[in-house]
Amino acid sequence: MAVDIKNLNHNQLNELISKAQTRQTELRKEKVVKLREKVHALIKAEGYSFEDIFGQSRGKSRRTGPVAPKYRNPADPAQTWSGRGKRPRWYNDALKAGKKEKDLAI
């Protein structure tokens, strides 16, 4: 399929590029699926399982549980924060009010 790109306007070129990129992504995914099937078939043919070769499932998290809190809200001691993730509103408000991070530490 030959496309004469000299006769395409700007919008048509952008549409062609978008379609080509989408198709390229699809082809890559198909190739990955075929390769994965070949690897699994080879492992099975040799008498092993995927876990024997690569260890436990990759999807399992290494987390062991919740993290202990590092900061406490002085106005409401029931509110704590571990220092991970998005800062809670009370933490930001306390910093804006002039408190220091060490003032909020447990």
**Number of folded domains in the chain?**
2
Based on the fold, state whether residues 40 and 77 are members of the same structural domain. Answer: no
For 2-21, what is the mean pLDDT?
A: 92
Indicate whether 59 belongs to any domain: no
pLDDT for residue 74: 87
Residue 83: domain span = 71-104
3-state secondary structure the chain: CCCCHHHCCHHHHHHHHHHHHHHHHHHHHHHHHHHHHHHHHHHHHCCCCHHHHHCCCCCCCCCCCCCCCCEECCCCCCCEECCCCCCCHHHHHHHHCCCCHHHHEC
Give the mean pLDDT of 91-103: 91
Higher pLDDT, 30 or 106: 30
Asked whether residue 86 is domain-assigned, the answer is: yes
pLDDT computed for residue 2 by the predictor: 82
Q: Per the domain annotation, does 63 fall within a domain?
A: no
What does the pLDDT look like over 26-84, one tens digit per residue? 999 999 999 999 999 999 999 999 888 888 766 666 667 788 999 999 889 899 999 99
